[in-house]
Amino acid sequence: MVSHSGLITVMQRAARKAAPRLRRDFGEVEQLQVSRKGPADFVSMADKRSEATIVDELRYARPDWGLLVEEAGEIAGNPDKPRWIVDPLDGTTNFLHGVPHFSISIAVEEKKAGGGTEITQALVYQPLTDDSYWAEKGRGAWLQDARLRVSARRDLNESLIGTGMPHCGRGDPERWAKIYAAVGPQVSGVRRFGSAALDLAWVAAGRMDGFWEDDLDLWDTAAGVLLVKEAGGFVTDYRGGDRSFERREYVAGSSAIHSKLQKLVAGAVR
């Protein structure tokens, strides 16, 4: 059994407490597809119930910490303490359509001594498979008790790359198309799975060799970014800098793949 801090235990307990209801709700979605009203309102309630359960668990464990959560926004805490960053259901559209690919994402954001903040603990949890991807700064990234490492591939033509696509008023289709036109012909394949948190976890696990996406919120990516970094990978903004959270744009992968992918992306959007 791999040892980890009590914070990871708290995060896993919160995710696993929310998971059974999410699994039950997911099982109901197929039946709702044929109803006139459709499953959208039902899924919105599932998202909110998951968030309420996770927030209750986290606040019970650390009552003076603040939170940043997708539905409720910022919940104030002691400004001198860390805060939780929570996405209770990343992959809502998949959930809505009965696609079994979604996750719970929880991260801890702490203030750095010299100013600014950093993510120090991370969890991406898949309720349907019980896959628990977790990481702590300086202690590596893990899937259950197995150490994670990013892919060892070095050539783009052998690489599988993940992304997210603009949809329904979100993102810039022309910008995405330019990036795809630069990346697509150079790689073995491009995949859009619908959960950025799981995409980044899969990069950390070496299942995908790289990833790019923009127009992402902090709760989508905070945990996944730490997973990639602790698995030996790199995450930057499109320009190759460390302002991904600020710019809401991400390029991730192993050293070799990240460098080549980032240059393609930057060249497409400059």
- Taking the C-alpha atoms of residue 237 and residue 252, their distance in angstroms, rounded to an integer, is 9
Same domain for 102 and 218?
no
pLDDT given at position 177: 97
Residues 129 and 178 in one domain: no
pLDDT at position 59 over 60 = yes
Question: Cα(257)–Cα(26) distance, rounded to whole angstroms?
Answer: 35
Q: Are residues 126 and 177 in the same domain?
A: no
Shared domain for 129 and 173, answered yes or no, is no
Question: CA–CA separation, 122 vs 134, rounded Å?
Answer: 5
Statement to judge: residues 175 and 197 lie in one domain: yes
Same domain, 11 and 143: yes
pLDDT at 35: 47
pTM of the model: 0.94
pLDDT of amino acid 238: 97
224 and 143 in a common domain: no
Q: Structurally, how many domains does the chain consist of?
A: 2
Cβ contact 237:247 at 8 Å: yes
* Domain harbouring 51, CATH code: 3.30.540.10
Q: How would you write the chain as a 3-class SS string?
A: CCCCCHHHHHHHHHHHHHHHHHHHHHHHHHHHCCCCCCCHHHHHHHHHHHHHHHHHHHHHHCCCCEEEECCCEEECCCCCCCEEEEEEEECHHHHHCCCCCCEEEEEEEEECCCCCEEEEEEEEEECCCCEEEEEECCCEEEECCEECCCCCCCCHHHCEEEECCCECCECCHHHHHHHHHHHHHHCCEEECCCCHHHHHHHHHCCCCCEEEEECCCHHHHHHHHHHHHHCCCEEECCCCCCCHHHHCEEEEECHHHHHHHHHHHHHHHC
> CA angle 26-31-37, nearest 5°?
100
Identify the pLDDT of residue 115: 85
Per-residue pLDDT tens for 14-36?
999 999 999 988 888 766 554 44
Q: What's the whole-number mean pLDDT along residues 74-80?
A: 93
- Taking a C-beta distance cutoff of 8 angstroms, is the pair 250, 216 a contact? yes
The CATH number that applies at residue 204 is 3.40.190.80
Q: Is residue 36 domain-shared with residue 140, that is, in the same domain? A: yes
Q: Which CA distances in Å does 177 have to 122, 192, 269?
A: 31, 14, 10
Backbone angles phi, psi at 140, to 5 degrees: 90, 175
Q: How many CA atoms lie within 13 A of 269 on its CB side?
A: 23
pLDDT tens digits along 238-264 = 999 999 999 999 999 999 999 999 999
What value does the mean pLDDT of the chain take?
93
Quick one: 206 and 227 in the same domain?
yes
The two structure tokens encoding residue 124: 């991406």
| Residue ranges making up the domain that contains 61 | 6-147
Query: Are 79 and 11 spatial neighbours (Cβ–Cβ below 8 Å)?
Result: no
CA dist., res. 261 & res. 268, Å (int)? 11
Tell me how far apart the alpha carbons of residues 268 and 270 are, in angstroms, rounded to a whole number. Answer: 6
- Give the integer Cα–Cα distance in Å for 172 and 194: 17
User: Would 135 be classed as within a structural domain?
Assistant: yes
Q: Are residues 136 and 191 in the same domain?
A: no
The mean per-residue pLDDT over the stretch 141-168 comes to: 96
pLDDT band at 56 (very low <50, low <70, confident <90, very high): very high
**pLDDT at residue number 268:** 97
Quote the percentage of the chain above a pLDDT of 90.
80
pLDDT for res 45: 82
38 pLDDT more than 60: no
